[in-house]
């Protein structure tokens, strides 16, 4: 894992050695400083792994070709667990394959209720705990047979969904999307980081004030700018949206707005929450709600254009994992969905592609928020008709 090689210290700088090793112009005569003997490394294919590129020095990263591996879908996790992880744990604990049988429903509950990851490392740990519990039951059953104490109580190899909480305890994770009640000012966004995708909630509230905007949630500069752009657009289009009775009326004349993104300990940045912020602001000012199972991602401009963003496959898989059933995203990202998102995920989610913010508002609020009659937005960018 090359992201963990460390930084310069009194023991040396490992990344500096990698610079020469991975440089095709130099590695044909690489000289080790300890042996002082040149090696020809030019014919070697180096394969490195990393959980994140944030900690890899820029000069070193420039010498490598990045191949991003997306997280697994639930269907893929279940196949891996059934065909590989469970047999491995059974073998490691000294049991036979017929001694532990986990039903598909129980396996799905383990994957959804006890893990929240892009890979399967935690899933393997949980399966190991299940197999250990069954190993204890098996040993106790064998002991009863030998001692002739309650020999009629036979060992049951099957693990049903009703057995999971007895073995692993209460579920660690709940489906935060399906459990959430639609609330004015709260919208589900989509995020991407070095280890996969995820969902995030944008929360907006207003209070008496003088038109100030407060941002919290460990936000970076780019996402703060997106918030200011979103608020500026909503303020300038308050009449067209139906939030004010005249063009000159300021919806924030005597109010302050607070935008918060939960999980304050996790840094957040990037422009892809732009359209979600607009919808959250409109939701708060209009008291209309966006369905909890609707998520969105997309950059937003002051002209009302919806711009493409990255990490689509990871975001969609994470949203599907969280229970999202409708996703609004930029029209120019449609090709990414078709090319990268697995078929089983696409079949269970309704995708809506938008090129302007007016299309986003119409779909997010299911037709309840549209441009005021007589104030038709410009076709290209959703601006005002003067």
- Tens digits of per-residue pLDDT, 90-141? 999 999 999 999 999 999 899 888 887 878 999 999 999 999 999 999 998 8
Mean pLDDT along residues 219-238: 92
More confident residue, 382 or 263: 263
Judged against a pLDDT cut of 60, whether residue 379 lies above it is answered with: no
- Cβ(165)–Cβ(147) under 8 Å? no
Return the CATH fold of 75-168. Answer: Helicase, Ruva Protein; domain 3 (1.10.8)
Judged against a pLDDT cut of 50, whether residue 224 lies above it is answered with: yes
**Is 315 designated active site?**
yes
Number of Cβ within 10 Å of residue 250's Cβ equals: 12
Domain ranges of the chain: 2-61, 75-168, 186-364
Considering the four listed CATH numbers 1.10.10.10, 2.60.40.10, 3.40.50.300, 3.40.190.80, the one that applies to the domain covering 2-61 is: 3.40.50.300
Return the CATH fold of 186-364. Answer: Ribosomal Protein S5; domain 2 (3.30.230)
**Is 272 designated active site?**
yes
Catalytic residue among 283, 315, 326, 355: 315
Report the b/e string of 199-232 with b at 16+ CB within 10 A.
Answer: bbbbbbebeeeeeebeeebebeeebeebbebbbe
Same fold, 2-61 and 75-168: no
| Residue pointed to by tokens 């970076």 | 220
pLDDT at 205: 94
Judged against a pLDDT cut of 50, whether residue 386 lies above it is answered with: no
Quick one: DSSP state of residue 369? S
3-class DSSP assignment, residue 63: coil
pLDDT at 10: 61
pLDDT at 230: 93
| Residue pointed to by tokens 């491995």 | 88
Catalytic residue among 118, 226, 272, 355: 272
**Which DSSP string corresponds to 301-338?**
-TTSBEEP-S-HHHHHHHHHHHT--EEEEEGGGHHHHH
């Amino acid at each position: 894992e090359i992201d963990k090689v460390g930084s310069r210290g009194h023991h040396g700088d490992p990344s500096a050695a990698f610079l020469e090793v991975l440089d095709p112009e130099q590695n044909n005569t690489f000289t080790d400083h300890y042996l002082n003997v040149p090696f020809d490394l030019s014919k070697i294919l180096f394969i490195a792994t990393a959980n994140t590129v944030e900690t890899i020095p820029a000069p070193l990263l420039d010498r490598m070709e990045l191949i991003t591996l997306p997280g697994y879908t639930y269907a893929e996790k279940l196949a891996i667990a059934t065909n590989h992880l469970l047999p491995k744990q059974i073998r490691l604990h000294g049991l036979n394959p017929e001694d532990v049988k986990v039903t598909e429903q129980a396996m799905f509950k383990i994957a959804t209720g006890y893990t929240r990851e892009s890979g399967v490392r935690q899933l393997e740990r949980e399966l190991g705990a299940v197999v250990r519990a069954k190993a204890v039951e098996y040993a106790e059953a064998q002991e009863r047979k030998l001692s002739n104490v309650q020999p009629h109580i036979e060992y049951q190899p099957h693990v049903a969904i009703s057995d999971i909480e007895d073995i692993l305890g209460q579920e660690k994770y709940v489906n935060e999307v399906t459990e959430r009640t639609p609330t004015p000012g709260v919208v589900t966004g989509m995020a991407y980081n070095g280890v996969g995708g995820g969902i995030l909630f944008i929360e907006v509230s207003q209070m008496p004030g003088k038109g100030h905007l407060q941002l919290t949630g460990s936000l970076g500069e780019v996402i703060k700018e997106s918030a200011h752009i979103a608020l500026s657009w909503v303020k300038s289009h308050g009449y067209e949206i139906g939030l004010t009775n005249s063009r000159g009326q300021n919806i924030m004349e005597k109010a302050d707005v607070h935008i918060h993104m939960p999980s304050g300990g996790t840094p957040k940045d990037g422009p892809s929450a732009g359209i979600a912020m607009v919808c959250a602001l409109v939701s708060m000012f209009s008291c209309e709600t966006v369905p909890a199972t609707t998520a969105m991602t997309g950059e937003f401009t002051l002209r009302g254009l919806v711009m493409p963003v990255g990490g689509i496959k990871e975001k969609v898989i994470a949203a599907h994992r969280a229970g999202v059933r409708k996703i609004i995203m930029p029209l120019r990202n449609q090709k990414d969905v078709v090319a990268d998102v697995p078929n089983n995920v696409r079949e269970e989610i309704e995708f809506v592609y938008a090129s302007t913010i007016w299309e986003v508002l119409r779909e997010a609020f299911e037709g309840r928020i549209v441009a005021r009659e007589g104030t038709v937005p410009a076709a290209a960018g959703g601006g005002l008709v003067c």
